Amino acid sequence: MRTSKSTKKSSAQSRIPRISTRGYYDLRTGVTLKKGNYVLYPSKFFENLRQKEFTIMVHGMRNDTFGALAKFKIAKTRLAHLGYGYPVVGFSYDSNVYGAHLKSYEMKAVKTAKIIAEKNGKNLAKFILDFKRKSPQTRIRLMGHSLGSDVILHALRRLAGNPGMVESVYFFGSSIPAAYLSQKKYGKILQKVVRKKIVNYYSLQDNVLEHAYKIGSIESPLGYCGYSGRTITKYTQRKVQPKSHRFASYVEVLDGYP
Protein backbone atom coordinates (compact mmCIF):
# COMPACT_ATOMS: atom_id res chain seq x y z
CA MET A 1 0.00 0.00 0.00
CA ARG A 2 1.34 3.44 -0.94
CA THR A 3 1.84 6.03 1.81
CA SER A 4 0.37 9.47 1.12
CA LYS A 5 2.46 12.62 1.41
CA SER A 6 0.34 13.83 4.36
CA THR A 7 0.92 10.55 6.20
CA LYS A 8 4.67 10.81 5.63
CA LYS A 9 4.66 14.40 6.90
CA SER A 10 2.73 13.41 10.03
CA SER A 11 5.13 10.53 10.64
CA ALA A 12 8.15 12.85 10.30
CA GLN A 13 6.66 15.28 12.80
CA SER A 14 5.84 12.53 15.29
CA ARG A 15 9.50 11.53 15.37
CA ILE A 16 10.53 14.89 16.82
CA PRO A 17 11.55 14.01 20.41
CA ARG A 18 9.39 15.61 23.05
CA ILE A 19 8.63 15.91 26.72
CA SER A 20 4.88 15.79 27.25
CA THR A 21 2.43 16.60 30.05
CA ARG A 22 -0.66 16.42 27.83
CA GLY A 23 -3.78 15.51 29.80
CA TYR A 24 -2.28 16.48 33.15
CA TYR A 25 -4.38 19.65 33.59
CA ASP A 26 -8.01 20.62 33.02
CA LEU A 27 -8.41 22.85 29.95
CA ARG A 28 -11.31 24.77 31.54
CA THR A 29 -9.92 25.40 35.03
CA GLY A 30 -6.24 24.43 35.18
CA VAL A 31 -6.98 21.91 37.94
CA THR A 32 -4.50 19.02 38.09
CA LEU A 33 -6.08 15.86 36.67
CA LYS A 34 -3.40 13.26 37.24
CA LYS A 35 -0.17 12.76 39.10
CA GLY A 36 3.15 12.47 37.34
CA ASN A 37 5.99 14.59 36.06
CA TYR A 38 6.19 14.02 32.30
CA VAL A 39 6.29 11.40 29.56
CA LEU A 40 9.12 11.10 27.02
CA TYR A 41 8.66 10.28 23.31
CA PRO A 42 10.46 8.27 22.11
CA SER A 43 11.89 7.07 25.40
CA LYS A 44 14.93 5.45 23.76
CA PHE A 45 16.02 8.80 22.33
CA PHE A 46 16.31 10.28 25.80
CA GLU A 47 17.93 7.15 27.21
CA ASN A 48 20.67 7.43 24.59
CA LEU A 49 20.97 11.23 24.60
CA ARG A 50 24.58 12.02 25.42
CA GLN A 51 25.17 15.08 23.25
CA LYS A 52 27.21 18.07 24.43
CA GLU A 53 23.99 20.06 24.43
CA PHE A 54 20.41 20.29 23.20
CA THR A 55 17.62 22.87 23.03
CA ILE A 56 14.11 22.54 24.48
CA MET A 57 11.45 24.51 22.61
CA VAL A 58 8.27 25.40 24.57
CA HIS A 59 5.29 26.43 22.42
CA GLY A 60 2.67 29.05 23.18
CA MET A 61 -1.07 29.16 23.85
CA ARG A 62 -3.80 27.57 21.68
CA ASN A 63 -1.64 24.67 20.48
CA ASP A 64 -2.99 21.13 20.56
CA THR A 65 -0.66 18.15 20.13
CA PHE A 66 -0.31 18.61 16.37
CA GLY A 67 0.08 22.38 16.63
CA ALA A 68 2.87 21.86 19.16
CA LEU A 69 4.64 19.39 16.86
CA ALA A 70 4.50 21.93 14.05
CA LYS A 71 6.21 24.54 16.27
CA PHE A 72 8.94 22.08 17.23
CA LYS A 73 9.57 21.36 13.56
CA ILE A 74 9.82 25.10 12.80
CA ALA A 75 12.38 25.52 15.60
CA LYS A 76 14.41 22.52 14.46
CA THR A 77 14.42 23.67 10.83
CA ARG A 78 15.38 27.26 11.63
CA LEU A 79 18.17 26.34 14.05
CA ALA A 80 19.58 23.84 11.56
CA HIS A 81 19.56 26.60 8.94
CA LEU A 82 21.61 28.72 11.34
CA GLY A 83 24.15 25.93 11.73
CA TYR A 84 22.99 24.48 15.04
CA GLY A 85 23.96 20.81 14.93
CA TYR A 86 22.52 19.58 18.23
CA PRO A 87 19.09 18.05 18.96
CA VAL A 88 15.95 20.16 19.36
CA VAL A 89 13.42 18.72 21.80
CA GLY A 90 9.83 19.87 22.26
CA PHE A 91 7.94 20.45 25.50
CA SER A 92 4.25 19.73 24.81
CA TYR A 93 1.64 20.78 27.39
CA ASP A 94 -2.07 21.64 27.74
CA SER A 95 -2.04 25.12 26.24
CA ASN A 96 -5.17 24.71 24.09
CA VAL A 97 -7.42 25.96 26.90
CA TYR A 98 -11.17 26.16 26.51
CA GLY A 99 -12.67 29.34 25.05
CA ALA A 100 -9.42 31.04 24.00
CA HIS A 101 -10.99 31.90 20.63
CA LEU A 102 -14.10 33.47 22.19
CA LYS A 103 -13.98 37.20 22.94
CA SER A 104 -16.43 36.83 25.83
CA TYR A 105 -14.24 34.15 27.44
CA GLU A 106 -10.71 35.34 26.67
CA MET A 107 -9.94 36.78 30.13
CA LYS A 108 -10.88 33.48 31.77
CA ALA A 109 -8.97 31.52 29.12
CA VAL A 110 -5.76 33.52 29.66
CA LYS A 111 -6.07 33.08 33.43
CA THR A 112 -6.44 29.31 33.03
CA ALA A 113 -3.54 29.18 30.58
CA LYS A 114 -1.33 31.06 33.05
CA ILE A 115 -2.24 28.58 35.81
CA ILE A 116 -1.36 25.64 33.57
CA ALA A 117 1.90 27.28 32.46
CA GLU A 118 3.00 27.85 36.05
CA LYS A 119 2.25 24.24 36.97
CA ASN A 120 4.18 23.02 33.94
CA GLY A 121 7.17 24.97 35.18
CA LYS A 122 7.46 22.33 37.88
CA ASN A 123 7.27 19.54 35.29
CA LEU A 124 9.94 21.08 33.07
CA ALA A 125 12.20 21.75 36.05
CA LYS A 126 11.85 18.10 37.11
CA PHE A 127 12.93 16.92 33.66
CA ILE A 128 15.98 19.20 33.71
CA LEU A 129 16.99 18.00 37.17
CA ASP A 130 16.50 14.35 36.21
CA PHE A 131 18.51 14.71 33.02
CA LYS A 132 21.32 16.66 34.65
CA ARG A 133 21.74 13.95 37.26
CA LYS A 134 22.59 11.39 34.57
CA SER A 135 24.47 13.80 32.28
CA PRO A 136 25.71 16.79 34.30
CA GLN A 137 28.02 18.08 31.56
CA THR A 138 25.28 18.43 28.94
CA ARG A 139 24.27 22.01 28.22
CA ILE A 140 20.51 22.67 28.10
CA ARG A 141 19.13 25.73 26.30
CA LEU A 142 15.49 26.83 26.55
CA MET A 143 13.47 28.56 23.86
CA GLY A 144 9.95 29.81 24.63
CA HIS A 145 7.29 31.47 22.53
CA SER A 146 4.45 33.50 24.10
CA LEU A 147 2.94 31.42 26.96
CA GLY A 148 5.91 29.05 26.66
CA SER A 149 7.99 31.81 28.25
CA ASP A 150 5.83 31.52 31.37
CA VAL A 151 6.56 27.79 31.54
CA ILE A 152 10.28 28.52 31.31
CA LEU A 153 10.17 31.30 33.90
CA HIS A 154 8.47 29.07 36.45
CA ALA A 155 10.85 26.21 35.65
CA LEU A 156 13.80 28.48 36.38
CA ARG A 157 12.10 29.61 39.58
CA ARG A 158 11.76 25.96 40.61
CA LEU A 159 15.47 25.46 39.88
CA ALA A 160 16.53 28.12 42.37
CA GLY A 161 19.45 26.74 44.36
CA ASN A 162 20.91 25.03 41.28
CA PRO A 163 23.42 27.53 39.83
CA GLY A 164 24.13 27.28 36.11
CA MET A 165 21.60 24.51 35.56
CA VAL A 166 20.44 26.05 32.27
CA GLU A 167 22.93 27.33 29.69
CA SER A 168 20.83 30.03 28.03
CA VAL A 169 17.24 31.18 27.51
CA TYR A 170 15.50 32.78 24.51
CA PHE A 171 12.08 34.44 24.73
CA PHE A 172 9.98 35.26 21.65
CA GLY A 173 6.80 37.33 21.99
CA SER A 174 6.84 36.59 25.70
CA SER A 175 3.64 36.87 27.77
CA ILE A 176 5.61 37.20 31.03
CA PRO A 177 4.81 40.46 32.88
CA ALA A 178 7.89 42.64 32.42
CA ALA A 179 8.12 43.31 36.16
CA TYR A 180 9.07 39.66 36.72
CA LEU A 181 12.57 40.44 35.43
CA SER A 182 13.21 42.94 38.24
CA GLN A 183 15.71 42.22 40.99
CA LYS A 184 12.89 42.25 43.55
CA LYS A 185 10.88 39.60 41.71
CA TYR A 186 12.66 36.72 39.91
CA GLY A 187 15.69 38.51 38.46
CA LYS A 188 18.20 37.26 41.02
CA ILE A 189 17.00 33.67 40.62
CA LEU A 190 17.37 33.82 36.84
CA GLN A 191 20.83 35.33 37.21
CA LYS A 192 21.98 32.30 39.22
CA VAL A 193 20.18 29.49 37.40
CA VAL A 194 21.06 30.60 33.84
CA ARG A 195 24.79 30.22 33.21
CA LYS A 196 25.26 32.27 30.04
CA LYS A 197 22.49 34.61 28.91
CA ILE A 198 18.79 35.43 28.65
CA VAL A 199 17.69 37.07 25.38
CA ASN A 200 14.27 38.65 24.93
CA TYR A 201 12.97 39.29 21.41
CA TYR A 202 10.12 41.79 21.67
CA SER A 203 8.00 43.76 19.24
CA LEU A 204 5.95 46.92 19.61
CA GLN A 205 4.01 45.72 16.55
CA ASP A 206 2.86 42.48 18.20
CA ASN A 207 -0.92 42.94 17.94
CA VAL A 208 -1.76 39.88 20.06
CA LEU A 209 0.27 41.07 23.03
CA GLU A 210 -0.87 44.64 22.46
CA HIS A 211 -4.48 43.49 22.74
CA ALA A 212 -3.73 41.49 25.90
CA TYR A 213 -2.04 44.56 27.37
CA LYS A 214 -4.93 46.88 26.53
CA ILE A 215 -7.66 44.65 27.98
CA GLY A 216 -5.55 43.93 31.05
CA SER A 217 -5.23 40.15 30.67
CA ILE A 218 -1.41 40.47 30.80
CA GLU A 219 0.34 43.22 32.72
CA SER A 220 3.02 44.89 30.54
CA PRO A 221 3.96 41.79 28.48
CA LEU A 222 7.73 41.41 28.18
CA GLY A 223 7.34 40.49 24.51
CA TYR A 224 5.50 43.72 23.75
CA CYS A 225 6.91 46.32 26.14
CA GLY A 226 10.39 44.96 26.71
CA TYR A 227 12.01 45.79 30.04
CA SER A 228 13.01 49.35 30.95
CA GLY A 229 14.04 49.11 34.61
CA ARG A 230 17.11 47.80 36.37
CA THR A 231 17.55 44.11 35.78
CA ILE A 232 20.21 41.39 35.79
CA THR A 233 23.47 41.47 33.84
CA LYS A 234 22.74 38.27 31.92
CA TYR A 235 19.58 39.76 30.41
CA THR A 236 19.56 41.47 27.01
CA GLN A 237 16.70 42.38 24.71
CA ARG A 238 16.27 42.96 21.02
CA LYS A 239 13.46 44.96 19.46
CA VAL A 240 12.39 43.18 16.29
CA GLN A 241 9.67 43.45 13.67
CA PRO A 242 8.12 40.04 13.00
CA LYS A 243 5.20 39.87 10.57
CA SER A 244 2.87 38.63 13.32
CA HIS A 245 2.77 37.09 16.79
CA ARG A 246 3.23 33.61 15.32
CA PHE A 247 6.33 31.68 16.34
CA ALA A 248 7.29 31.21 12.69
CA SER A 249 7.44 34.99 12.30
CA TYR A 250 9.53 35.54 15.41
CA VAL A 251 12.04 32.79 14.75
CA GLU A 252 12.72 34.27 11.31
CA VAL A 253 14.40 37.26 12.99
CA LEU A 254 17.10 35.00 14.46
CA ASP A 255 20.35 35.71 12.66
CA GLY A 256 22.46 33.42 14.80
CA TYR A 257 22.18 30.73 17.45
CA PRO A 258 23.17 30.20 20.17
Average pLDDT by consecutive 10-residue portion of the chain (258 residues)?
A: 47 74 98 96 93 97 97 98 97 95 88 98 98 96 98 98 97 96 91 98 97 95 93 95 97 95
pLDDT at 8: 47
pLDDT at 9: 45
pLDDT at 231: 87
Is the peptide bond between 42 and the residue preceding it cis, with omega within 30 degrees of 0?
yes
Please check whether the domain covering 5-251 is classified as CATH 2.40.50.140: no
pLDDT at 208: 97
Residue ranges per structural domain of the chain: 5-251
pLDDT at 10: 46
pTM above threshold 0.85: yes
pLDDT at 104: 80
In this structure, are strands 18-20 and 39-41 parallel, antiparallel, or unpaired? antiparallel
pLDDT at 75: 98
DSSP for the chain, written as a single string: -PPPHHHHHHHHHHTS-EEE-TTSB-TTT--B-S--S-EEESHHHHHT---SEEEEEE--SS--HHHHHHHHHHHHHHHHHTT--S-EEEEE-----TTTT-GGGHHHHHHHHHHHHHHHHHHHHHHHHHHHHH-TT-EEEEEEETHHHHHHHHHHHHTTT-TT-EEEEEEES--SBGGGGSIIIIIHHHHHHEEEEEEEEE-TT-HHHHHHHHHTSSSSBHHHH---S---TTEEEEE---SSSSHHHHHTT--S--
pLDDT at 32: 98
pLDDT at 14: 47
